[in-house]
């Protein structure tokens, strides 16, 4: 299923679970820090060179998480009352189209994600800048006073950083939420992209979106997240993000 521009629904007050997957830019290595300084106790030239190569490799590994050095290779969305949908982008042209579709969908909705303030939205905004994608006015990404149309579940679970941050998959296990059998980790996505395993990338982002939606439905029983009832009275009651036949992308 691919993302389709929404023209036939009223997106006002709709809530959208959003998750992205990223990989390093093909030329990320050319932007690596060249001012590498090995430990002072390293004296041998071969030891220093080995350290530099290792440092460059680690920097490249981190490029997938750097808004200036990564690209968006997949986006998953779960509209409230709809079904999980996802799309992958193999080229910059496909990435441009994919991000444009997302902004069109979210133009008047409420964004829900896991670390969406610290990662997903900064990356989407920066990629929009680099790709010349028209996007909404800048969001307020202050974790203590974010824009009122953003909910970050990671901040909710950590009480705005008062407790240690844990991963989405950690909480999925803690709550007993079912995960896909492939056990793909987000750190595996760059390698999957390199290998051309796009179906696995898409399946992973779909699974993360589903877990985020299910976690959202378990976090609160009151009006904290969106100013209205979020979680059903019973945990086995269908969640607000339960799938329906309505297509909203």
Instruction: For residue 236, give the 3-state DSSP assignment.
Output: coil
Q: Is there a domain that residue 102 lies in? A: yes
Q: Is there a domain that residue 20 lies in? A: yes
The burial class, CB within 10 Å (0-12 / 13-18 / 19+), for 55 is: middle
Mode of pairing for the β-strands spanning 70-79 and 15-24: antiparallel
Q: Is there a domain that residue 166 lies in? A: yes
Which pLDDT band holds residue 182 (cuts at 50, 70, 90)?
Answer: low
- Are the beta carbons of 75 and 98 closer than 8 angstroms? yes
pLDDT at 5 (0 to 100): 36
Q: What is the pLDDT of residues 98-130, one digit of tens each?
A: 999 999 988 878 999 999 999 999 999 999 999
Q: How many other β-carbons are positioned within 10 Å of the β-carbon of residue 83?
A: 19
pLDDT at 226 (0 to 100): 43
The CATH number covering residue 58 comes to 3.30.420.10
Residues 6+ apart with CB under 8 A from 101: 3, 4, 5, 87, 249
Work out the angle at residue 193's Cα, subtended by the Cα atoms of residues 188 and 199, and round it to the nearest 5 degrees: 90
Q: Bigger pLDDT: 108 or 23?
A: 23
Q: Is there a domain that residue 117 lies in? A: yes
Least confident of 8-12, 30-34, 134-138, 182-186: 8-12
Instruction: For residue 21, give the 3-state DSSP assignment.
Output: strand
The whole-angstrom separation of Cα 20 and Cα 203 is: 12
Give the chain's domain count: 1
Q: Is the dihedral of CA 194, 195, 199, 200 positive or negative?
A: negative
Residues 6+ apart with CB under 8 A from 117: 141, 143, 146, 150, 152, 155
Mean pLDDT of all residues belonging to the chain: 82
The whole-angstrom separation of Cα 30 and Cα 179 is: 37
pLDDT at 206 (0 to 100): 95
Question: pLDDT at residue 97 above 90?
Answer: yes
Q: Is there a domain that residue 3 lies in? A: no
pLDDT at 181 (0 to 100): 54
Instruction: Provide the angle, in degrees to the nearest 10, between the axes of the packed helices 121-131 and 92-106.
Output: 120
Q: Bigger pLDDT: 45 or 18?
A: 18
Q: How many other β-carbons are positioned within 10 Å of the β-carbon of residue 30?
A: 8
The gap between the terminal CA atoms of the chain, to the nearest Å, is 9
The whole-angstrom separation of Cα 133 and Cα 103 is: 9
pLDDT at 20 (0 to 100): 98
Show the domain range for 94: 15-28+51-219
Read off the DSSP letter of residue 17.
E
Model's pTM, two decimal places? 0.80
The burial class, CB within 10 Å (0-12 / 13-18 / 19+), for 122 is: middle
Q: Is there a domain that residue 198 lies in? A: yes
Q: Bigger pLDDT: 88 or 30?
A: 88
Q: Is there a domain that residue 205 lies in? A: yes
The whole-angstrom separation of Cα 86 and Cα 134 is: 20
Question: pLDDT at residue 78 above 80?
Answer: yes
Q: What is the pLDDT of residues 138-171, one digit of tens each?
A: 778 888 888 888 999 999 999 888 899 999 999 9
Q: Is there a domain that residue 10 lies in? A: no
Question: pLDDT at residue 211 above 90?
Answer: yes
């Amino acid at each position: 299923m691919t993302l389709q521009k929404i023209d036939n629904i009223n997106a006002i007050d709709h809530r959208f679970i959003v998750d992205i997957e990223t990989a390093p830019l093909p030329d990320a290595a050319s932007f690596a820090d060249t001012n590498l300084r090995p430990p002072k106790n390293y004296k041998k030239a071969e030891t220093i060179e080995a350290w530099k190569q290792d440092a460059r490799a680690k920097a490249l590994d981190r490029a997938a998480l750097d808004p200036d050095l990564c690209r968006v290779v997949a986006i998953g969305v779960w509209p409230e009352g709809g079904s999980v949908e996802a799309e992958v982008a193999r080229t910059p042209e496909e990435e441009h189209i994919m991000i444009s579709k997302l902004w069109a969908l979210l133009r008047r909705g409420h964004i829900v994600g896991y670390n969406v303030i610290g990662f997903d939205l900064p990356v989407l905004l920066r990629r929009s800048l680099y790709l010349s994608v028209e996007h909404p006015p800048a969001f307020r990404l202050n974790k203590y006073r974010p824009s009122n149309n953003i909910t970050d579940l990671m901040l909710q679970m950590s009480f705005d950083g008062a407790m240690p941050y844990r991963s989405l998959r950690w909480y999925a296990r803690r709550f007993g939420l079912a995960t896909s059998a492939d056990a793909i980790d987000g750190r595996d996505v760059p390698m999957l992209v390199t290998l051309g395993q796009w179906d696995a990338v898409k399946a992973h982002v779909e699974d993360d979106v589903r877990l985020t939606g299910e976690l959202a439905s378990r976090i609160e029983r009151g009006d904290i997240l969106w100013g209205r009832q979020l979680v059903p009275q019973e945990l086995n009651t269908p969640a607000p993000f339960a799938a329906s036949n309505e297509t909203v992308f």
